[in-house]
Amino acid sequence: MNENFDRAPGAGRSRNFPADPGLMTGAGDADSKTPLFNQREPLRQPRTTPPFTENSIGSVSDMPDGDYRRQSRPPQSPNSNNTSASRGGNDVDSMIKSSKLSANAPEFVPLGFNQYDDSAYYDDSDAYYGEPTLADTVTDFLGHLSSSPGSFESDVEYITGILNSWVTTEELLKELVELIYTQSTSIPNFAYTGARLCNYLSHHLIITPASGNFRQLLLIRCQTEFQQRDAAVRGEPETQKKFHSYVLFLGELYLHLEIKSGQGPPVRARVLLGALKDLLISLFSNPVDANLICAVKLLKLTGSVLDDAWKESGESHMGELIKRIEDIVLDATCSRDVRQMLLKLVELRSSDWGRVQVAAAASSATPDNDPNYFMNEPTFYTEDGTPFTAADPDYAEKYQEMLDRQDYFHDVYGENGNEVYDFEDEMEPEIEEAFEHFCLESERKRQQ
């Protein structure tokens, strides 16, 4: 077996380089072919280890080019070999002191593994860097809800419990509001889940500083963006895109944010009702395609609820908005597709936002006042297979024929579906003769 066999890491990678005369024994010695220092390829340093200092680097003049590139160390004089070994211990100690790795890390967490562990934080190099920040925790939670929105009901209580342990000051509460607002207006399709989360946190976060609770601080943050609406609808495309995300998030917030009242069920935030009207007016004031598409999306999302709320208060804001849309269709230079979207929206509103009207009461319903009068009527079939319903003019006659046919078969088959024979009646002579012949033939075959 090879004498250099070793089970230590890096075993078997020793290399014999050309001997240096200054490091060799006499030519007659038995070990004259072996260098004084057995050169081995150093193990790869961890990614989190700081770069080596000059004093900690050994000689690289004897290394092959491949090893030199892999180590990426600056070239040193051959004389430095004599001092590197003595300084190695001090360099190791300095690296340990400057390292960010921690022996107290509770467990190894693979990169990309999403878990709710607020006791340790790992970066892309799997190195432990101490406690995570509130931003790290909230970003992980929102990323999880964004990728798995179906788990909202089962996870939101746990998430709220963690946030209650985190958010203990007014500054942290404001940071939480900003984080959720930013994520809800920047992550695609997260506005719905973000609005639901805001509603839940507004009722279950414990902290209520003097500056306002979670819901009040959230509305203040939305007010800041609302005041810039007129400039945003005329801004650069990127500015308009951010503003449109804000508009749709505010629509979701109006649908989901509930305010508990002392009497009766929770109500929606009425301040958002007026804000949405003003936002729609601002969008229509600059009728470019992007603004019009955003307005259509908002009205499809909240149109029926806004219309009902304004009707209850005796206001005609929805009618005014529809009139603006009709004027834009006639005058504006929007694209054909956007014009078609606006016309479809006007048609949707004329059908009461696609809601089915309540049918007339059963006692007063007639084919004249209820278009669904015959909707749930069964379909029957005549003897030749022709279908008919109660709406058919000949329904009574065809239905009676069907009943007569059922009575005939009821007499033949009985209630349980079995054919009924009246044994008291004599069989026809031909039938009787055929029956006797059948019985004799069966008996003959049985005896064979």
Domain range annotation of the chain: 134-315, 373-404
Q: Which pairs with CB-CB distance under 8 Å and at least 24 residues apart come from 156-161?
A: 156/196, 156/197, 156/200, 157/204, 158/116, 159/116, 159/197, 160/200, 160/201, 160/204, 160/205
**pLDDT computed for residue 294 by the predictor:** 96
Residue 4 clears pLDDT 70, i.e. is over it: no
User: How confident is the model over 390-411, as a mean pLDDT?
Assistant: 67
**pLDDT computed for residue 192 by the predictor:** 95
Question: How crowded is residue 18: how many other Cβ atoms within 10 Å of its Cβ?
Answer: 6
Residue 66 clears pLDDT 50, i.e. is over it: no
Place of tokens 């719905």: 192
**pLDDT computed for residue 122 by the predictor:** 46
133 vs 383, residue with greater confidence: 133
**pLDDT computed for residue 186 by the predictor:** 93
Of the options 3.30.870.10, 1.10.10.10, 1.25.40.180, 3.40.50.720, the CATH number for the domain spanning 134-315: 1.25.40.180
**pLDDT computed for residue 318 by the predictor:** 95
**pLDDT computed for residue 105 by the predictor:** 58
pTM for this entry:
0.56
318 vs 42, residue with greater confidence: 318
- Alpha helices by DSSP H, listed for 19-80, are 65-71
**Percent of all residues in the chain with a pLDDT value above 90, rounded to a whole number:** 44
Q: In the beta sheet, which residues pair with residue 268?
A: 258
User: Residue 254 gets which letter from DSSP?
Assistant: H
pLDDT digits (tens, 9 = 90+) for 25-37: 444 444 444 444 4
Give the N- to C-terminal CA distance of the chain in Å, as an integer. Answer: 90
pLDDT digits (tens, 9 = 90+) for 330-374: 987 889 999 999 999 999 999 999 887 654 455 566 666 666 665
Question: Considering the chain, what is the average pLDDT of its residues?
Answer: 74
Asked whether 53 and 14 are in contact (CB, 8 A), the reply is no
What are the two backbone dihedrals, phi and then psi, of residue 381, each rounded to the nearest 5 degrees?
-135, 140
Residue 386 clears pLDDT 70, i.e. is over it: yes
Binned at pLDDT 50, 70 and 90, residue 441 comes out as confident
Asked whether 163 and 205 are in contact (CB, 8 A), the reply is yes
